[in-house]
Amino acid sequence: ADGPWSVADILTEDDEQDRVPLQKLKLLGESEELRGLLLNPHLRQLLLAVDQAEDKSSLMKKYMQEPLFVEFADCCLRIVEPPEKENILPE
């Protein structure tokens, strides 16, 4: 019980649809835009607070009202779930 945990220990079948493949997660580390956002000390403090929080869900709801946190979340989503090409307006 005190050994290392795996993703399978915390995900149920219902959560499986929310799972992001490791290949896509690696794209986060390659994003210059995301790296730029993470240079912001306020954002880093928000992420640290979420990581250390007991009730992550309610803190996430609160932080989703913070424009900087929303910008971070949107950036992450654009990387792991790029918009469909047909939904992009031509320039």
Assess if residue 16 is contained within a domain. Answer: no
Assess if residue 39 is contained within a domain. Answer: yes
Q: Tell me whether residue 73 is exposed, middle or buried, using C-beta atoms within 10 angstroms of its C-beta: 0 to 12, 13 to 18, 19 or more.
A: middle
Assess if residue 74 is contained within a domain. Answer: yes
pTM of the model: 0.71
Q: Contact at 8 Å (CB) between 79 and 36?
A: no
pLDDT score of 77: 92
What is the extent of the structural domain holding 71?
Answer: 25-80
Q: What is the DSSP annotation of 22-63?
A: HHHHHHHHH-HHHHHHHT-HHHHHHHHHHHH-S-HHHHHHHH
pLDDT score of 18: 67
- Split into its structural domains, the chain has a count of 1
pLDDT score of 20: 79
Pick left, alpha or beta for residue 26 (phi over 0 → left; psi -120 to 50 → alpha; otherwise beta): alpha
Question: pLDDT tens, 33-62?
Answer: 999 999 999 999 999 999 999 998 999 999
